[in-house]
């Protein structure tokens, strides 16, 4: 197989008898497939095409799935695709992704033509998910000193890396010129860089590591590197995670949790004033994502978090449901069971995470699960 190859898929539809949701399995059982990271753009604006990762070729590469024709066209090839961080441009004309922790590549959706937008400097490694501004003219990214870097292929290494205090820098990359600007650099593990939608001057990032050890996870900083501020002052026992900007830029939402309870809170801060609000009490969801204006939120029920130091104190029963949280009438209901195993597969810690998000019309949610044996991608109607 190679670039431009079309793979036929046979979607499988079932109806959840408890909730009435129609669940469509988009990718076949024998393949290893996943959706991208939950806040990265994966649907074209019209909702007809979807960016996925699949090993239809020998490697895990990007493909553009056509939801009407039930086919997928191959966009990338060879080893080394970061299959979580890639995203479709705002203009729907390209995929942008990182290859071999080294090159930021643009792939034209029409002819799969590749162009290198940026190359990581010698002595550094490109890390994690890189996120564009709304106009898709820049990305924010994290780079780690190569002498400090290691492959994070288990949750043990995830914890170890935190204690190592790697040299990290938060950077912005101009996609036209490939020019890099360092916003902030420190001997502390940084992750989750985000441009606030429609406001390039506000950039968010996190202190990464076991959630119960990190004192303050979420931070914001001006694009020029000034005005670094805590997004939210966590209490002693509180862990925060999976922060994201509501796509209209109004708020940052995140999950807050404490030991010895399976209760979680969906919290937010106003993206401008940082005014804090508990939006909802909810079941043990790990990841959340909202619709455009933040009125609807989807979450994936989970078990004991793996990214904490005190697993015993945080031990809870597994919750296999996807939940729809409607913030306009404060209701929460299960959509369907995702039933994923959450297992690390071949050193990939994220592949069996559901990472749910809404389709552009808010009528379905997209998620990953290995319920049928191998990681696959699903849509469930609301």
> Which range touches Mn ion (CB under 5 A), out of 69-77, 85-93, 307-315, 353-361?
353-361
Nearest to 84 by CA among 124, 38, 118, 120: 38
Closest to Mn ion by CB, 63 or 353:
353
> Which range touches Mn ion (CB under 5 A), out of 76-84, 166-174, 302-310, 351-359?
351-359
Closest to Mn ion by CB, 100 or 350:
350
Among residue numbers 18 through 37, which ones bind Mn ion (CB under 5 A)?
Answer: none
Number of residues that bind Mn ion (CB under 5 A): 2
Task: Name the minimum Å distance from CB 200 to Mn ion.
Answer: 26
Query: Under the criterion CB under 5 A, does residue 353 sit at the interface with Mn ion?
Result: yes
Closest to Mn ion by CB, 138 or 353:
353
Closest to Mn ion by CB, 326 or 350:
350
> Which range touches Mn ion (CB under 5 A), out of 174-182, 200-208, 261-269, 343-351?
343-351
Angstrom distance (rounded) from CA 141 to CA 182: 10
> Which range touches Mn ion (CB under 5 A), out of 118-126, 326-334, 340-348, 352-360?
352-360
Query: Under the criterion CB under 5 A, does residue 99 sit at the interface with Mn ion?
Result: no
CB 370 within 8 A of CB 341: yes
CB 308 within 8 A of CB 253: no
Query: Under the criterion CB under 5 A, does residue 349 sit at the interface with Mn ion?
Result: no
| CA-CA-CA-CA dihedral for 267, 83, 315, 333, to nearest 10 | 50
Longest Cα separation, the chain: 55
CB 211 within 8 A of CB 217: yes
Closest to Mn ion by CB, 58 or 341:
341
Closest-by-Cβ residue to Mn ion is 353
Structure tokens at 212: 């119960």
Angstrom distance (rounded) from CA 121 to CA 143: 9
14, 290, 295 from 20: Cα distances, Å: 10, 22, 22
> Which range touches Mn ion (CB under 5 A), out of 55-63, 109-117, 293-301, 344-352?
344-352
Q: How far apart are the first and last CA of the chain?
A: 36
Structure tokens at 39: 């806040």
Closest to Mn ion by CB, 34 or 133:
34
Task: Name the minimum Å distance from CB 369 to Mn ion.
Answer: 13
CB 105 within 8 A of CB 94: no
Structure tokens at 303: 């078990």
Interface residues with Mn ion (CB under 5 A) are: 350, 353
């Amino acid at each position: 197989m190679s670039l431009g190859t079309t793979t036929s898929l046979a979607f499988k539809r079932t109806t959840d008898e408890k909730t009435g949701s129609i669940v469509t399995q988009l990718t076949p059982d024998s393949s290893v497939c996943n959706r991208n990271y939950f806040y990265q753009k994966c649907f074209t604006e019209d909702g007809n095409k979807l960016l996925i990762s699949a090993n239809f070729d020998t490697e895990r590469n990007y493909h553009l799935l056509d939801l009407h024709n039930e086919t997928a066209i191959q966009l990338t090839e060879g080893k080394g695709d970061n299959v979580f961080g890639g995203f479709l441009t705002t203009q729907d004309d390209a995929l942008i992704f990182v290859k071999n922790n080294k090159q930021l590549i643009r792939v034209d959706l029409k002819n799969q033509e590749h162009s290198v937008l940026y190359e990581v400097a010698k002595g550094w490694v490109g890390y994690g998910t890189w996120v564009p501004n709304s106009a898709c003219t820049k990305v924010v990214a994290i780079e780690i000193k190569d002498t400090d870097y290691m492959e994070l292929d288990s949750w043990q290494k995830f914890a170890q890396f935190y204690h190592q205090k790697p040299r990290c820098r938060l950077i912005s990359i101009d996609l036209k010129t490939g020019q890099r600007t360092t916003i902030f650099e420190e001997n502390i593990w940084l992750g989750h860089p985000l441009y606030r939608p429609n406001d390039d001057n506000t950039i968010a990032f996190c202190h990464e590591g076991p959630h119960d050890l990190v004192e303050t996870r979420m931070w914001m900083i001006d694009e020029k590197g000034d005005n670094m501020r805590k997004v939210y002052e966590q209490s002693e026992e509180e862990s925060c995670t999976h922060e994201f900007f509501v796509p209209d830029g109004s708020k940052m939402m995140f999950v807050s949790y404490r030991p010895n309870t399976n209760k979680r809170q969906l919290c937010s801060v106003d993206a401008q004033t940082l005014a804090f609000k508990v939006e909802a009490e909810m079941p043990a969801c790990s990841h959340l994502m909202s619709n455009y204006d933040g009125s609807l939120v989807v979450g994936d029920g989970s078990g004991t978090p793996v990214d904490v130091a005190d697993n015993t104190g945080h031990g809870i029963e597994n919750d296999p449901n996807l939940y729809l949280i409607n913030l306009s009438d404060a209701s929460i209901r299960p959509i369907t069971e995702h039933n994923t195993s959450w297992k690390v597969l071949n050193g990939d810690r994220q592949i069996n995470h559901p990472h749910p998000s809404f389709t552009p019309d808010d009528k379905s949610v997209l998620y990953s699960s290995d319920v049928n044996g191998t990681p696959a991608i699903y849509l469930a109607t609301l």
